[in-house]
Structure 1
Amino acid sequence: MSYPAQDSPGPDREYYATPPWEEREKAGYIYQIWRIGRSAGFKNEVDCVYAGTDRYVGLELANARQCAARWRARRDHGVVPYSLSFSCQ
């Protein structure tokens, strides 16, 4: 998510969530890419949500340029639970 640095997202954090820039399915996996912009006055974070709860850990992405997610795909184009691999560079 990206938000103005002077804001402090509270319970409405999903308002700042951004969809992936790219998404594709290949060889049994779904790939998602987020490009991280460098806009003055904005912060970039990723929220890691604990499954089945409202709890999360927010990680600031100060030096990252891109984040990528890879999920194992089901035949119905859904994702296999607990198959997420996520990284930022």
Structure 2
Amino acid sequence: MAIRATWGAPKALRCDHNNNLIVVDTENNAVRQISSDTNIVTTIAGGHRGGDGDGGYAVDAGLERPHGCGIDNDGNLYIADGMNHRVRVVGMN
């Protein structure tokens, strides 16, 4: 069980290379990570509505209704940023 998080339409789930669960939280315009060790939920991308933040910290970037994600062999997280009509990339290392 994840420790204290308010979810708004979680849409997609993936496990990263450290067995943490990545959750796309569409209505909260965020991507969150549930630690496999502690069950603590952390926002790792987005958290507010918008399309800003390219080149900066992922938690400062705006997303608008993200719907899915994937992780490549290098551990990069790809986010389908629905209403912004783009795929955003977050380096997870």
TM-score in same-fold range (> 0.5)? no
Larger Rg: 1
Higher relative contact order (CA 8 A, sep 6+): 1
TM-score (norm 1): 0.30
TM-score (norm 2): 0.29
